[in-house]
Amino acid sequence: MTKEYKLNVETPKSFSFVKRDIPEVTIEQREEALKKTHYNEFAFPAGMLTVDMLSDSGTTALNDRQWSAMFLGDESYGRNNGYYVLLEAFRDCFERGDNQKKPVELILTGEKDIDKLMEELYLCEYEGGFFNGGASQLERPNTFLMPQGRAAESMLFEIVRNILNERYPEKQFIIPSNGHFDTTEGNIKQMGSIPRNLYNKELLFETPEGGEYEKNPFKGDMDIEKLEQLIETVGPENVPLIYTTITNNTVCGQAVSMNSIRKTAEVAKRYNIPFMFDAARWAENCYFIKENEDGYKDKSIPEIAKEMFSYCDGFTASLKKDGHANMGGVLAFRDKGTFWKNFSDFDKDGNVTNDVGIRLKVKQISSYGNDSYGAMSGHDIMSLAVGLYQCCDVNYLSERVGQCQYLAQGFYNAGIKGVVLPAGGHGVYINMDEFFDNKRGHDTFAGEGFSLELIRRYGIRVSELGDYSMEYDLKTPEQQEEVANVVRFAVNRSMYSKEHLDYVIAAVKALYEDRESIPNMRITKGHNLPMRHFHAFLEPYPNEEK
């Protein structure tokens, strides 16, 4: 007899991309689907869910200006209109601060004056930043449009690996970060290098008195002492890149302070190591800096972003987050900066003989199409260009972060142990070790059991980002200490109402009170696959009571 799980709260009836009805699905139907998809949460049919919080990547509800811009999408194969306005949107949001030009308005208003378009859009020359323009982008390409962030990471690490292998055959390298996310870590491993996550775990899992800090303590910061110690121990010649993820997704979506970014950049410069961002949630991080770091309260999001990006040598970004759009990614590096110098080849007179930007562009064209669309459609590019400006809106960011805070406080007030506070900007995380009273071992993958049981009982899908996904059992002892055994509840932008969040709070409270019955899981296939959580098979331990 299948047990029923009733909640004293109304089940949500819809959520919206514009609007989608939620079907009635029984526990038996969800059990059958789980078994037939080998208990892989990514493979569970979305149409059978009540609330889907697996990821905030590409799940945004677009705003009205984005929908209208999509109708003006230019699907030309070479140098579509969107290419020009997207690069200008990048310059506006990352480099110009309050002096934005917003030439996207030329397209949105149907400008017909060709001389004006040539002067203000098509033939503008830029160099020296992250986004060369005109002939400079052809001569020294440094901006690469991608369909999503992991494509940018894959291309970057493949070319870096090839260059390092040419110079130092069969040598292994270490790439430190405040917290590599799963795809970044997977791509680093596939290039034969070792990812390290250097943050303060004790601070991360500290619970503030009463559940709230007066100011965000920036738990996502790089541990600068650990970084310097690592570089000195292995030698700077064995550290080809230093990464900072903003916000720090692996470390529970926690914010990174400008002070930490500045100090990390100083360390990188001292050792002549390129300093890179995983900038998927740059706008949320700027918001946290504005709200919590001294000296930034009166600054705009673009002004904070301008300073933030001034410290790095390059960045990758999934542009499916932060309210950007449903599709898009980018890789960029500073024109003639440290990354370009370290990974390009020069003759004895200092002339470049093998430009890393050209190598990246060859890979981009061979794998993703012409450089002016990078595997995105013209209407996706226009949606992305407009969405970047939405990310500069403090009111939008405040509402988004506020939803995460509401969910986190709801868990905390319900007495659920392990809630990571304060909430990040895109989701809420629960420490599974504390949730299970430290009674489950690292080999039980109990966090994945929690995720799957949440699907089975209540039709809520979340993402395990702990011992299972971050491959605790495949890491060195040093790396194991850097794993945060958590589950993430991603809060999709402009998707959920208070009703949805209350349903999730009630479901997790009920599951917490019955946590002893949550099954442990074991991997039956794909144990050693790269980024195994996307495609491995699991099953509950035999005879495990549900």
Nearest to 239 by CA among 202, 264, 206: 264
pLDDT band at 121 (very low <50, low <70, confident <90, very high): very high
Contacts of 86 (CB under 8 A, 6+ apart): 145, 381, 384, 385
Burial 142-167 (b: 16+ CB within 10 A, else e): bbbbbbbbbbbbbbbbbbbbebbeee
Residue with tokens 């590599």: 180
Largest alpha-carbon pair distance within the chain?
80
Which residues make beta-bridge pairs with 21?
Answer: 14
Indicate the SS3 state at residue 114.
helix
Nearest to 418 by CA among 385, 440, 388, 444: 440
Q: Is the peptide bond before 542 cis (omega within 30 degrees of 0)?
A: no
Check residue 377 and give its pLDDT. Answer: 92
Check residue 415 and give its pLDDT. Answer: 97
The phi, psi pair for 345, rounded to 5°, reads -110, 145
pLDDT exceeding 70 applies to what percent of the chain? Answer: 97
Q: Mean pLDDT, the chain, as a whole number? A: 92
Q: Could you report the per-residue pLDDT of 245-273, keeping only the tens digit for each? A: 999 999 999 999 999 999 999 999 999 99
Output DSSP code: residue 517.
Answer: G
418: phi > 0 → left, psi -120 to 50 → alpha, else beta; which? left
* Average pLDDT of the residues in 495-499: 86
Whether 542 has a pLDDT exceeding 90, the answer reads no
Check residue 16 and give its pLDDT. Answer: 47
pTM value? 0.93
Check residue 324 and give its pLDDT. Answer: 80
Half-sphere exposure of 448 (CA within 13 A, CB side): 31
Whether 461 has a pLDDT exceeding 70, the answer reads yes
Output DSSP code: residue 180.
Answer: -
Domains of the chain in sequence order: 27-56+395-541 (3.90.1150.10), 63-148+351-392 (no CATH), 153-318 (3.40.640.10)
* Amino acid occupying residue 314: G
